[in-house]
Chains A and B, each alone.
Chain A
């Protein structure tokens, strides 16, 4: 589904991603872990199409048979890629319902489906809100405006549920959550897992992975994946921290 080869990206001339390779297949959950500043969020933003990053011409990313790097951000979303933001932005004056209907309809139209009118969308949103266990007030509130940190993260997961992407990249959707909110967010993610849908969970902490079991864990350090493994790698990181990995990388250099 997603094939990343030699992904190099820089911002303002600083090389952040220094050659990343990995493949995500349908239905898989990959966790990207690593210490602060290792390039985790950059990887998420580059995949979503943020234009602040310069991607090297040597790099290639294929998503569902398309050259992802050629597509602008909105077309990546229409192709089925979703990014849950680490810091979701606030949009004064635009209600969640209005925002989500516009987004869903853009995607539907791009796939040759009919637009949903406000009434049909209301039904769909209500169903998704119940499924994701978010308060009914979310619909009419302005997007993320005045939301607590936890509410913003839950709102991202609600958007994910409405947009039904093929690949969801969750950028630190667990950070800043108390244990109850973490549980709700993880339950939401688990409900959305399916054989057709893949996840990339970008996280600093192992905690989320207690609730959402990954198939693969990759450790990103200084812009490179320095180790890959199964879910047991996450447990090892939790126990030993990142220092041993840093030491290994230093020793190898």
Chain B
């Protein structure tokens, strides 16, 4: 009889065998070593399971039990820019970087001129350029050993998105990274990777957008993003997860902020089967500020897991975490906010709020805002709410002649809209508003 461990070993053997077939392509030795470290870590780390505190409420055994093949380097169909244009931002000045199964596709990307010294493109290309030094310094540097899947991403690291903004440079137009998964005939996994480095006093807006052109083949997008903000740098960041119904998604973003830097993040999970959206910020310099806003729209039998953590390592840091979820059908959402205040992080100012709107009696939410404080002079709050649209509010609408169905629609859109207005990029706000309106608003009030 096989034990749980034996089964895990079998699954792992599958990935190790896939891993051994990665073409070497003249990669520098440090990259090979990084991959080997990832592979070791993967082999020695248990798959995430409900016996682990962080995964207690999120059962991903369906992902663990699937032996995903690596997605093909070049997709079976040749893609034109026209095929990916629907994913482009409604801002013709935006840089549109298209990645297919984790690999950069320059021909179908749109590359307007960027300020001198700014790089936005392929990680693999950067390794062969004078920027190799930057990549080598930072790639894998702030990724903690979060779980077996983040290790697996590093083990399979071959390409990815690389954004570099030199000191005091302001990139005014948004950089939009489209991570497109096109699975093969069997269940396949893509390993999107992002590295963004903003030097001292620089500023940029980056959006990673996870989508798929898969019709019905199951797949896994296993993404890792690393974001490094130098002193006084400012990043507006959005993550949109819009996988297909048969697509699972595990994403981890690691953000390391130096002093007085500002990170304004907006993470939206719009679609996908099981989606885990994790962002881990370390406020590693004095006076650094971060805002983490998460929106998840669940229906059917979907499961989303939003994990935001902020580590306050230094004094005068500020963090704001807000999660908002709308749950319909038999869907389930998990929200875990975690703020850790180190003894050195005096004068920390932190707020956490998670609000959930239940549109169905069968939907469920597990919410757990957490605070761990080891400094004595701090201001930290947290709170959570879960509930259906209040009858008193519905009556107010109805007393103005608005039907209950229309009232629910307006209320639901408004609930999301309130958070959408916090999204840092205009084009993203428009995109999300339109999405929410199409999903929840009755026709007559659009």
Q: Write the residues of chain A forming the contact surface with B, with a CB cutoff of 8 angstroms.
A: 48-52, 72-74, 76-78, 82-83, 85, 88-89, 91-94, 98-100, 102-103, 105-107, 109-110, 142, 159, 163
Contact = CB atoms under 8 A, between A and B. Distances in A.
Interface of B is mostly: helix
A91 B402 CA distance: 14
B215 interface: no
Interface in B7-61: none
Contacts of A110: 401
Interface of B: 390-393, 395-404, 406, 410-411, 413-418, 444-445
B47 to A, nearest CB: 39
Contact of B393 (A73, A89, A98, A103): A89
Contacts of B403: 74, 106
Given A89-B393, A105-B444, A74 B411 contact: no
A85 B400 CA distance: 11
B125 to A, nearest CB: 43
Contacts, number: 79
A103 B395 contact: no
A49 B404 CA distance: 13
A89 B406 CA distance: 17
- Would you list the 9 A-B pairs with minimal beta carbon distance, nearest first? A93-B414, A77-B401, A93-B418, A94-B414, A103-B400, A93-B417, A73-B398, A106-B401, A74-B398
With most chain A CB atoms within 10 A of its CB, the pick from B399, B402, B411, B445 is B399
B331 to A, nearest CB: 21
B414 A102 contact: no
Given A50-B395, A105-B444, A91 B400 contact: no
Contacts of A94: 410-411, 413-414, 417
A64 B95 CA distance: 62
Contact of A73 (B390, B395, B411, B415): B395
A89 B403 CA distance: 17
B414 A74 contact: no
A53 B404 CA distance: 18
Nearest to B416: A93
Contacts of A50: 395
Contacts of B399: 48-49, 73-74, 76-77, 82-83, 85
B445 A102 contact: yes
Given A50-B395, A88-B396, A94-B410, A78 B401 contact: yes
A100 B391 CA distance: 19
Given A83-B399, A102-B445, A106-B402, 16 more contacts: A74-B398, A77-B398, A85-B396, A89-B390, A91-B410, A92-B414, A94-B410, A94-B411, A94-B414, A99-B410, A103-B402, A105-B444, A106-B401, A142-B414, A142-B418, A159-B400
With most chain A CB atoms within 10 A of its CB, the pick from B393, B400, B406, B414 is B400
A76 B398 CA distance: 9
Nearest to B415: A93
Contacts of A51: 395
Contact of B415 (A52, A74, A76, A92): A92
Contact of A89 (B392, B410, B415): B392
A122 B166 CA distance: 46
Given A49-B398, A77-B399, A78-B401, A91 B413 contact: no
A91 B444 contact: no
Given A91-B414, A142-B418, A102 B406 contact: yes
A91 B406 CA distance: 14
A110 B397 CA distance: 16
A89 B418 contact: no
23 contacts: A73-B398, A74-B398, A74-B401, A74-B403, A74-B404, A82-B399, A85-B396, A89-B393, A89-B396, A91-B393, A91-B396, A91-B411, A93-B413, A93-B418, A94-B410, A98-B410, A102-B406, A103-B397, A103-B400, A103-B402, A106-B402, A106-B444, A159-B400
